[in-house]
């Protein structure tokens, strides 16, 4: 809007075909700035390129209409103006659609998951934004999405393609049933699933002991809590074949 009047004056003052060539060369330079912005992941540079493309469109607007009288008869000007206007808006529309398609398909399943609507009755998709330090001075944000369950993928890539599957593990049941496993694996929709639960030959009552110590410290106080774990561990570990599990890798290394 600020350069509209100036653009019209330029179109009247200079030879149109030469002016068009200079403006298009300017557009190529702006595209080079866009390429650099994507290459360096520099958001500031991309916004500068966006502003320069607006300048390019402002400069080119009067020129593309001013050249029509040089190539069309007077009775053809109305139709020529209409075709130029139509071409402009069709290009804008197709560019917007193509950009959306490139973003969604070119970035893999990430954007598809971000934009997809959660289906009622199925596991939702977790969506979040992470702040990342960029190589440039600008701030970079990473948009993330991930399904909280792999049941749909398992149905699409495995269960629906296999004629038969045998699953064996010591941890398929929860509280004595297969319900949780069926839900998380995507097998709950199939009616022909068969189960076999075999008791473990391991004598837990004779060879295992469940100890819930009355800890004096809170896990939130990492230093004191780790010191207390170190203090209590010798009294619990009485054989060389003891497996100790930690929820914190840092605490495991310190203990």
Average pLDDT value for the chain: 84
What pLDDT score was predicted for residue 138?
65
What pLDDT score was predicted for residue 104?
65
Percent of the chain clearing pLDDT 70 (strictly above): 93
What pLDDT score was predicted for residue 106?
57
Stretch 162-171: mean pLDDT:
88
What pLDDT score was predicted for residue 98?
86
Distance CA 148, CA 30 (A): 42
Residues of 121-158 as b/e, b for ≥16 C-beta within 10 angstroms?
A: eebebeeeeeeeeeeeeeeeeeeebebeeebeeebeee
Residue 31: Cβ within 10 Å count:
13
What pLDDT score was predicted for residue 48?
92
Task: Check whether 49 has a pLDDT greater than 90.
Answer: yes
What pLDDT score was predicted for residue 130?
86
Short-list 60, 32, 27, CA closest to 45: 32
What pLDDT score was predicted for residue 214?
87
What pLDDT score was predicted for residue 86?
92
Task: Check whether 182 has a pLDDT greater than 60.
Answer: yes
- Per-residue pLDDT reduced to its tens digit, 79-131: 988 998 898 899 889 988 887 777 666 555 667 778 788 888 777 888 998 88
Task: Check whether 191 has a pLDDT greater than 90.
Answer: no
Task: Check whether 137 has a pLDDT greater than 70.
Answer: no
- Per-residue pLDDT reduced to its tens digit, 52-75: 998 988 888 888 888 888 888 888
Which 3 state secondary structure label does DSSP give 228? Answer: helix
Distance CA 246, CA 10 (A): 74
Task: Check whether 163 has a pLDDT greater than 60.
Answer: yes
């Amino acid at each position: 809007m600020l350069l509209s009047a100036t653009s019209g004056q330029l179109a009247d003052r200079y030879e149109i075909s030469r002016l068009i060539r200079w403006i298009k060369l300017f557009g190529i330079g702006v595209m080079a700035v866009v390429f650099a912005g994507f290459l360096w992941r520099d958001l500031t540079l991309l916004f500068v390129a966006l502003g320069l493309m607006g300048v390019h469109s402002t400069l080119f607007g009067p020129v593309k209409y001013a050249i029509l009288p040089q190539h069309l008869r007077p009775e053809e000007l109305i139709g020529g103006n209409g075709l130029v206007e139509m071409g402009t808006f069709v290009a804008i529309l197709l560019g917007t659609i193509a950009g959306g398609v490139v973003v969604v398909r070119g970035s893999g399943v990430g954007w598809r998951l971000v934009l997809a609507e959660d289906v009622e009755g199925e596991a939702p998709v977790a969506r979040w934004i992470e702040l990342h330090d960029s190589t440039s001075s600008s701030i970079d944000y990473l948009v993330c999405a991930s399904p909280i369950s792999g049941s749909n993928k398992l149905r699409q890539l495995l269960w629906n393609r296999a004629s038969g599957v045998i699953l064996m593990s010591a941890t398929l049941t929860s509280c004595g049933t297969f319900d949780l496993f069926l839900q998380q694996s995507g097998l709950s929709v199939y009616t022909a699933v068969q189960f076999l639960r075999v008791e473990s030959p391991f004598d837990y009552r004779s060879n295992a002991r469940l100890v819930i110590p009355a800890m004096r410290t809170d896990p939130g106080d990492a230093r004191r809590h780790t010191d207390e774990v170190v203090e209590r561990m010798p009294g619990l570990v009485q054989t060389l074949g003891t497996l100790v599990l930690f929820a914190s890798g840092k605490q495991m290394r310190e203990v």
